[in-house]
Structure 1
Amino acid sequence: MRICLLSYRGNPYSGGQGIYIYYLSRELQKLGHEVHVLSGPPYPEVADGITVHKLESLNLYESTRRWWQEIPRLRNPLRLYEFLAVSLGTFPEPFTFSIRAYNHLRALMPEVKFDIIHDNQCLGWGVLLMKRLGVPVVATIHHPIPVDRRLALSQAKNLWDRFRLMRFYSFIGMQNRVSRNLDRIITVSENSAEDIHRILKVRRNVLRVILNGVDSDFFDNNGKFPKEPNSLIMVSSGNGHIKGLPFLLEALHKVRQEIPAKLTVVGNGSPDGEPTRLIRKHGLADAVTFTGKIDKDELARLYASTEIAVVPSLYEGFGLPAAEAMSCGLPIVSTNAGALPEVVGKDGKAGLLVPPADPDNLAAALKCLLLDKQLGSNMGNTGRQRVLENFSWRQTAVNTVRVYEELLDAHS
């Protein structure tokens, strides 16, 4: 089968979507399929033998150029739209990438005939145009973005902040309409499937749940690194508020009144806004380290040298950091938001679950594991076994191919 994967931001360090593209494409290729990836910047890392089609964009969110330096690049109407949309505070990438991908595929199809097109939560208008190419189109929706908007709005400080957020998330209407017009949608948890049906109004009969995997050979509890006493780790590739960082900082302050715990936050850059205020307020500057972007090897080393992984998110469509930490044999303290109970388990054997946005219960769970090292060790071993039994990228790929075959049969 010749498969085309679409990802408007494909780099693994851009978040879970980039990790999904890397491992899914690798495992599909191992199953004997020919895999192409169409991506905008930052471009993906892929295994040898996978063809990457790099679609250019202005990439204004990472550009260091001044606005007037962009003018020579705006002769193309789509680039002009992208520039104006970003300047007005919206997020045009899903739309602009989908149009570029459609144009690229339309030009490519006479020479390279794809059997399936698989969109990775772009859901732009161009994805619907691709159906005109005579190729079945499936999309993965990791979770419904309206949830992110609702959580962001709930923490807005004033009307101006609410206006800016509504303007940024204005692409949601497009994604809602596109998702309702696709024949199959893959999602990564039962909780996400329910939310996609309820919020996006996608029909249940087109939804297919396929769990994400974990690279359990790479993320392993090999014992090569000594554990730093009373150490915590949180991995956050997205918005710190939605990921629950302020609530974790409040909990850390409470924990440190009894135990000298230290926290490492892995993610995109240094804190700003509320996290910075809380660190100053509670005197946590020496207790919290922000790594910024790091590679996979460094992440595995940090997991291996840390005692407890914390996932304080207000919502997760899956919760890949929790699964990776479990694979490394770490006990988990997590909220019960979104799909996290599906990943960590509801029985308390691999981790402790607490309500979201609840620093008191979060602090109590952390103190429980920090004071009972044997309990943490037992949970870590159970978590590792849970990953081996439930979260395999190869099985993710096998199940994904079944959806492709189902869709091809329906189109034949």
Structure 2
Amino acid sequence: MQADNAIVATDLMPSSPADTTELIGEQRYSASQKSLKICLLGYRSQPYGGGQGIYIKYLSKALVDAGHQVDVISGQPYPHIDPRVNLIKMPGMNLFETGLGSLRPHHLMSMTNIIEWTGKLTGAFSEPHCFGRRVFKYLKRYGRHYDIIHDNQCLSWGMLKLQKQRFPLVSTIHHPITSDLQIALNAASDWKERLLIRRWHSFLTMQKKVSRQLDNVVTVSQRSRQDIAHAFDIPADRINLVYNGIDTAEFRPMPEVARKPFRIMATASADAPLKGVRYLLEALAILAIEYPAIELLLVGQPQTGGDTEALIRKLQLHDRIRCVSGISTEQLVTYYAEAQLVVVPSVYEGFGLPAGEAMACGVAVVSTDGGALPEVVGDAGIQVPVKDGAAIARAVAVLLNDDLKRERLALAGRNRIEALFCWTKAASQMTDYYQQVLGKATVNADG
């Protein structure tokens, strides 16, 4: 999807802003149609990496569908985007794939590279900071033709520099990473692990300070708005709300695909404590006693030697779990169609894309009440308390024993997503917010 419409930012350095706009997709709109030139920023945007990549993929497509011209500037791993969206690659050192040993003498000519390498060397996560430095340098020279710059939770010093240079900047905060930090600390086994976790999350100091100074912040759920306000000390009324969407054309029921008896499914980063996979595994061990044929399809790959792999071994669940990763959206939708039900065991979700996608596919959902999941699931699924494997097991058993209830929830879920959480609606609301930001910028400039 990205090869034909991708360019590398460094290749554009001799070009003018007009040259860059010519690389935008074929669809064009006149000024009378109020088409905006939008630049979406993502420091890592591959959809397999989590919700931020999914956000980039579908928001950019929905904005193009709404008649806007959209560029995505992204670091590695790069996003999967619609052919009409222009991808500008902003390569960093990509140390999580290449390793610390990939340092070469020419890297030392860039202070940003030095910061990224030494950060990784000392256990920090420097990508947001370094991406912000690179993107500021690029946009300062080539970005004045954009109507809106939309940052996808980079929240770096570079974003503040863009704002000070009077770029119309919008920043999405999906949820405060302070939640991830606290959950990871609670799950740590000793002080050494807690020290490493705190070092990894040291970028939060930057994000907190930057967020308080941003003029235009948007988030994806009521719960995230409350949590961001509390964690980052931002008044809640300064945070705009635009719910995420689900692509209901891609994520759809497939009645021609047969359900697999006793197949349950979950989509989660297997070793992230935030995603609650350990409680799903505990539930599976309980369910296996009553349902010998039960099996779990987990979209997520446990780390070799990690906690999840150890728990699978301890609970003797190897024969009941199939783990897949790096699959296409079409394959994911097929897996949803094969499942009798989907479990979302998360301890916290800023929105809850796995729940929304499953519901859009017409699959009954068992979900925790973590974070914003109640806003997404509503009464179209069964909700249980977080960190409660026994409660998950009871809810799954209810649905395995009641075909009619499963069918009712599957239909209710699809209807709820179509009514409340489609990307067309999200793009319309985001466009309205962009216009508010531009109107405010115009008033300030005139003043």
Length-normalised TM-score, structure 2: 0.88
Q: State whether residues 100 and 121 of structure 2, in contact with CA within 8 Å, keep that contact through their aligned partners in structure 1.
A: no
Q: Which residue of 2 aligns with 1:355?
A: 385
Cα separation, 1, equivalents of 2:235 and 2:270: 28
Q: Which residue of 2 aligns with 1:242?
A: 274
Cα separation, 1, equivalents of 2:348 and 2:101: 35
Amino acid paired to 2:120: V
Q: State whether residues 271 and 303 of structure 2, in contact with CA within 8 Å, keep that contact through their aligned partners in structure 1.
A: no
Cα separation, 2, equivalents of 1:239 and 1:68: 26
Amino acid paired to 1:101: V
Cα separation, 2, equivalents of 1:140 and 1:400: 11
> Measured at CA, do residues 354 and 271 of structure 1 come closer, stay the same or move farther in structure 2, by a change above 3 Å?
farther
Q: State whether residues 302 and 309 of structure 2, in contact with CA within 8 Å, keep that contact through their aligned partners in structure 1.
A: no
- Quote how far apart the aligned CAs of 1:371 are: 1.3
Q: Any residues of structure 2 matched to 1:4-83 within 5 Å, and which?
A: 4-63=39-98, 67=101, 70-83=104-117
Name the stretch that deviates more: 314-323 or 288-297: 288-297
Do structure 1's residue 252 and structure 2's residue 284 form an aligned pair? yes
Which of 171, 194, 199 is matched with 1:162 structurally? 194
Cα separation, 1, equivalents of 2:271 and 2:436: 36
- Quote how far apart the aligned CAs of 1:292 are: 2.2
Name the stretch that deviates more: 179-188 or 156-165: 179-188
Q: Which residue of 1 aligns with 2:233?
A: 201
For structure 2, the 5+ residue unaligned runs are 1-35, 443-447
> Measured at CA, do residues 66 and 206 of structure 1 come closer, stay the same or move farther in structure 2, by a change above 3 Å?
closer
- Quote how far apart the aligned CAs of 1:268 are: 4.4
Cα separation, 2, equivalents of 1:410 and 1:248: 47
- Quote how far apart the aligned CAs of 1:182 are: 1.1
Q: State whether residues 309 and 333 of structure 1, in contact with CA within 8 Å, keep that contact through their aligned partners in structure 2.
A: yes
Q: Which residue of 2 aligns with 1:91?
A: 125
Q: Which residue of 2 aligns with 1:265?
A: 298
Do structure 1's residue 377 and structure 2's residue 410 form an aligned pair? no
- Quote how far apart the aligned CAs of 1:411 are: 1.2
Which of 406, 416, 428 is matched with 1:398 structurally? 428
RMSD: 1.4
Amino acid paired to 1:379: L
> Measured at CA, do residues 226 and 103 of structure 1 come closer, stay the same or move farther in structure 2, by a change above 3 Å?
same
Q: Which residue of 1 aligns with 2:219?
A: 187
How many corresponding residue pairs?
406
Which of 337, 354, 366 is matched with 1:333 structurally? 366
Which of 242, 257, 260 is matched with 1:225 structurally? 257
Name the stretch that deviates more: 124-133 or 310-319: 124-133
Amino acid paired to 1:51: N
Q: Deviations over 1:316-369 (max 9, x none)?
A: 000001000001111111100100000110x3xx21111111111111111111
Name the stretch that deviates more: 5-14 or 158-167: 5-14
Length-normalised TM-score, structure 1: 0.95
> Measured at CA, do residues 81 and 211 of structure 1 come closer, stay the same or move farther in structure 2, by a change above 3 Å?
same
Q: State whether residues 116 and 137 of structure 1, in contact with CA within 8 Å, keep that contact through their aligned partners in structure 2.
A: yes
Which of 163, 187, 212 is matched with 1:131 structurally? 163
Q: Aligned residues: percent identity?
A: 39
Which of 312, 322, 329 is matched with 1:279 structurally? 312
Cα separation, 2, equivalents of 1:270 and 1:310: 21
Cα separation, 1, equivalents of 2:310 and 2:407: 34
Amino acid paired to 1:174: M
> Measured at CA, do residues 343 and 68 of structure 1 come closer, stay the same or move farther in structure 2, by a change above 3 Å?
closer
- Quote how far apart the aligned CAs of 1:274 are: 2.4
For structure 1, the 5+ residue unaligned runs are none
Q: Any residues of structure 2 matched to 1:290-369 within 5 Å, and which?
A: 290-345=323-378, 347=379, 350-369=380-399
